[in-house]
Each structure stands twice: as structure tokens, then as C-alpha cells.
Copies of this chain bind each other. A is one copy, B any other.
Amino acid sequence: MTQQTADQAAQADPAQGEQNAQALLAGPQSIVTVGVDLFADALVAQSVDVQRVDWRPPLGGTEAEVQKVLFDARRAEANATAISRVLATGAVLVDVRPASEALEMSPGMFFHAGPPITWERASGPLRGALMGAMLFEGLADSPEEAEKLLAAGQLRDGTPITLDSCHHHRAVGPMAGVISPGMWVFEIADPATGRSTFCSLNEGLGKVLRYGAYGPEVVDRLKWMSAVLGPLLQQAVQRRAGSSAGPIDIRSITAQMLQMGDEGHNRNRAGTMMLIRELIPELLELGAPANDVADVVRFCNGNDHFYLNLVMPACKLALDAGRDVPGSSLVVAMARNGTDFGIQVSGTGDQWFTGPAQIPDGLFLGDYGREDANPDIGDSAITETAGIGGFSMAAAPAIVAFVGGTAQLALSTTHRMYDITLAEHPIMQIPILGFRGAPTGIDVVSVVRTGILPQINTGMAGKVAGTGQVGAGLVNPPAECFVDAIKALAATIA
């Protein structure tokens, strides 16, 4: 039973507590103990069958706020409204466009992952990605010049350099998440409402901009992506969207991924292949130069994470539908800029609740180790916010070879996430759990009451600008995000 339905059941049946008490008193078969183990241990010593219930006080001493929010008359309906909007959101691939046009960006504007941050507080990989974007845009001739201009906050001609969160512009970006005007972005739309969201094109693994690398191979790849990949994908996507088959259904592919061992955050193999198989016939019939088409196919084929940048905006599109419902404790965004971890909550508008981003536990590439890793970074935790990624690891046990852990950990993680989520997704199903729906829609109240933090799996960037990827692992948000969020939610109650 999800927290919401448990709460509803409790509200619907005020006699339930009394029944529970009766049940406890009635039988000598077993005793339920809550909290510290001293009493339970004493009973076990007397051969009494003990059911231990893991109870702890709410996170951060928020008893009063939790109580206030739990008794908020708006809460049950607000959460039902918010989550039902999330679950009802479709996602189709309607276009691929230059960011300058799609996101109305002009030279000197840069969007990045996570909550807003200044150059001064930016971590190494975010700085590296911004430097690379300056080079790609032709706004600097060397990494040193790029760094100097970014620190000074203006371009050579005096135009101000502005940094802002992707999330503030209907966009998301993995890892550093840097989007500059000359990059191309996917546009994903909800057919029912026409709302849309955007995400950059995935570059692959290793030395890539989003992991903070900015060398010539990074910049050259970005230039090819804007000159060849973006325009060819645009033609293929537009051709498909205008065909009788209609646009490629990203929600459907994402649901199928979960049947094929992907969880949509760090395993996107099946998703990438399903996307390519949809695009290939269009690409073949564009009349474009054969070697360009072959290059595009090879590039997408060679990068099993290509589909991540379609999952992410689809997740954002769904969660954006759940925003701004007064009284709702649904988390609508989790995002990290490499310094801060931030969340946004339906009932508290666009406010970010932040805490220090943590360093993941996981597996490292080559000779890299924990001391080389930057704290958690990227908008990709939007996948967990939407119930997939780390929340649906049970669907993708093979991911433990990439992020560490065991198959059992993958199963137990998903089971644990049901304790802090509002719904089981009707479309995103996990076969090994008997096609149970993915645990979807984090409830701030449940997180604070249980102390169970959302489980995110993630790539790890090197902490020194220019390094690139150093590993992948598992990480949680800092608890203070949820503590601050429940305080703010409580403050919205008259």
C-alpha cells in the first residue's frame, strides 16, 4: 500500500487504530514492538514471538511540521491531483532544434544542471563544461581565456555571461547539463496538452563535455553534432512526426525498456536500440549523403546512453504536470549542480530546497578512486523523481555491473522506494515484481517520516575540470532538502 492510500484508508476508517489495538490485545501469538530494541530483546529472551517495526523519529526534529502537514485538509486530494497529472502525461518526440531557437538563447547565455549557481561556487566539472561550451561557441580561443571570461562574467565584447538552471527553461541536461545557444536539443511533447520540454543530445561516455572535459576532441564532436547530427535527426524526426505513424512515442519506448533490463538512468541500451530502429527508415529515405547517414547511425549505435536524453525530458514533462498544486507534498524535481543537491515540491512552487551534494559509492574507471570524484551532479535524477532509474533497478539487475552492488540490492532498493512514493505507475511496469508498477512520485512526508532517502544511481565526473567520467555509483540526496521542504510545506498551511 502506498503512503497515500494508507493515509486515505486511515482517514476513511477511523476505527482502524482501535482495531489494531484490539488485535494486539486479543492474541498471545505475537507482540509488535516499535523503536528501540531493548523491550523486544527482553521478549525474545522469554520466547515470545516478536514483530519488530522499524520506527524512528522524523528527520531533523520535524514532528510538529509533519503533524501539521498530515492534518492539512488539502493533502490527500492535492497529492491525488498532482500524481494523477504526472501519470497521465504522454511523451512524443516532435522535433530536434537549435537551442538558440528552441530555448531563445543568445550568445553568453548558458544553462546548467541543478539549482542555480554562480561561477564562484561551481564545481570542477561544471566549470570545465562551461569552458568547453565557450570554446564550442567560438567565444574563447583557449581554455584559459574561457575561464578568465567566465570568472569576469562577460564576453570579450562586454556582453554579460549569464548562468541559469535548465529546469527554469523547461529543459534538463545530464551531468553538468550545460546547454549553449549553438547546441541542438530534443523537443518532447505531451500530445494531450501540447506542453513540451527539451534536452541536449547525448555525446557518449568518457571525455565529453557533460563530464567536464573540454579538449579538442570534445569541441570537435560538439561541432559535428551541431553541423550533421542535429540537422539529420531534425529531418528524420520531423518526417516521422508528419507521417501516418505519428511521432515516436517516448513514453511507450521507456515502458518497454523496463521490460528489457534498462532502468532509464544508467542503463539505456534497449531504449537506444528501440529509438534507432524507429529512426533508421526515416534516415534512409531523407536523400541525405550516405556517409553522413552512416556516421549518424554509427554514432547513435556506439553510445548506449543516447536514449537517456529522451528519457529525461519525458520525465520532466510528466513531473511538470504535477507542479503548483497547493498542499501537495509531491517532489517534482531533484537536481544537482555538482555543489548543491536541490529539490522542488508541488505545493511550494519554484522554491529550491538544497543541501550539499554527496559523493556516490560505486565503481571507478581505470585508476580513478573516490578521491577523484566530484560530488553528485546532473538533472538526470529527474528519472528517479519520476519512478524509474534507481527506483526501478529491480527491472535492470544487470546495472549493478556498472554502478556496483548485487542483484539483491537492485530488488531491495525498488521495494524500499514503494515506502516513500505515492503511486505505482500504470504504464511503467517491472516484470520481475509480477508487473508491479514502478514506485512513482516521491512524497516529502513519507521521506521525512521514514527517514528513507530516494535512491539515485549516477555517473561520476572527475572533480578537476577537464577530467571527464571517473565512475558510476549510488547516491542519496542530503536529508536537509526534505527537512526544509516539510518546513516550507507546513508554512503554507494557515
What per-residue 1/0 map shows which CB atoms of A252-284 lie under 8 Å from chain B? 000000011110000001100110110011001
Pick the contact of A259: B274, B398, B411 (CB < 8 A).
B398
Is A408 among interface residues, defined by CB-CB distance under 8 A?
yes
| Chain B neighbourhood of A368, CB < 8 A | none
| Chain B neighbourhood of A270, CB < 8 A | 260-261, 269-270, 273
Is A297 among interface residues, defined by CB-CB distance under 8 A?
yes
| Chain B neighbourhood of A297, CB < 8 A | 280-281, 284
| Chain B neighbourhood of A281, CB < 8 A | 294, 297-298, 301
Interface size on A, residues (CB 8 A): 33
Is A293 among interface residues, defined by CB-CB distance under 8 A?
yes
Q: How far is the CA of A407 from the CA of B433 in the complex (A)?
A: 7
What per-residue 1/0 map shows which CB atoms of A436-464 lie under 8 Å from chain B? 00000000000000000000000000000
Task: Mark out the residues of chain A between 118 and 143 whose CB falls within 8 Å of any chain B CB in the assembled complex.
Answer: none
- Minimum Cβ distance to chain B for residue A185 (Å): 24
Is A397 among interface residues, defined by CB-CB distance under 8 A?
yes
**Contact assessment for B301 and A398 in the assembled complex, using a CB-CB cutoff below 8 Å:** no
What per-residue 1/0 map shows which CB atoms of A293-306 lie under 8 Å from chain B? 11001100100000
| Chain B neighbourhood of A290, CB < 8 A | 284-285
* Copies of this subunit: 2
**Contact assessment for A431 and B273 in the assembled complex, using a CB-CB cutoff below 8 Å:** no
Task: Mark out the residues of chain A between 290 and 347 whose CB falls within 8 Å of any chain B CB in the assembled complex.
Answer: 290, 293-294, 297-298, 301
Q: How far is the CA of A391 from the CA of B31 in the complex (A)?
A: 43
Is A434 among interface residues, defined by CB-CB distance under 8 A?
yes
User: Whose C-beta in chain B lies nearest to the C-beta of A298?
Assistant: B281
Q: How far is the CA of A276 from the CA of B280 in the complex (A)?
A: 10
**Contact assessment for A284 and B274 in the assembled complex, using a CB-CB cutoff below 8 Å:** no
**Contact assessment for B434 and A406 in the assembled complex, using a CB-CB cutoff below 8 Å:** yes
User: Whose C-beta in chain B lies nearest to the C-beta of A411?
Assistant: B432
Q: How far is the CA of A270 from the CA of B294 in the complex (A)?
A: 22
| Chain B neighbourhood of A406, CB < 8 A | 434
User: Whose C-beta in chain B lies nearest to the C-beta of A435?
Assistant: B407
Q: How far is the CA of A431 from the CA of B290 in the complex (A)?
A: 39
**Contact assessment for A273 and B277 in the assembled complex, using a CB-CB cutoff below 8 Å:** yes
Q: How far is the CA of A276 from the CA of B276 in the complex (A)?
A: 10
- Minimum Cβ distance to chain B for residue A402 (Å): 11
A-B contact pairs, 15 of them (CB 8 A): A260-B261, A260-B269, A260-B398, A261-B261, A261-B431, A281-B294, A281-B301, A284-B290, A284-B293, A285-B290, A397-B431, A400-B431, A407-B434, A408-B434, A411-B432
Please give the residue numbers on chain A whose beta carbons come within 8 Å of chain B beta carbons, in ascending order: 259-262, 269-270, 273-274, 276-277, 280-281, 284-285, 290, 293-294, 297-298, 301, 397-398, 400-401, 406-408, 411, 431-435
* 9 cross-chain pairs, A with B, having the tightest CB-CB distances, nearest first: A397-B431, A273-B273, A398-B431, A259-B398, A260-B261, A407-B434, A397-B432, A284-B294, A260-B260
